[in-house]
Structure 1
Amino acid sequence: MISDPQPAPPTVPTLERQKAIEFIAYAEQYVLLIQWEQRELRRLNRDSSDLLPVIQGWEFMSVALRESYGLEEIEDSR
């Protein structure tokens, strides 16, 4: 069996520290917004299951940005 060669890891784009911090804050605020929406849907006895992967995606983005730009030390803005 022949397998495809492993692709090279992506290079982290150059981004000013402050911009990376702003993107992290944006992702974290988006998580809060969608979590609120999820709670509202549950309160109304409506299905909110499709929001979980969206929340997880934004949480992942926040962690990925922190790790990619070495910003693990900044406080979670949520």
Structure 2
Amino acid sequence: MADKEVQNSKKPPSKSVSVVNKTSSVSEDTPKTVPNKGPQVLCLRILNSLNENMKSQKERFEKLESAQYYD
């Protein structure tokens, strides 16, 4: 009985896996229509809307920055 406990305690250490964090926007090839799944659909719509807003804001900032260089 004690032999089994010793064998169990000698398990090799588990290997840790590092995960690289990626920030990515919703890609254009993401389907616009999703089967009706309630909150998931709402969440995807909100994320798509935020993504579009961020793109337009980025374009506006780039235009403002380029205008400052020409002033």
TM-score range, shorter chain: 0.3 to 0.5
- TM-score (normalised: structure 1): 0.38
- TM-score (normalised: structure 2): 0.41
Larger RCO (alpha carbons 8 Å, 6+ apart):
1
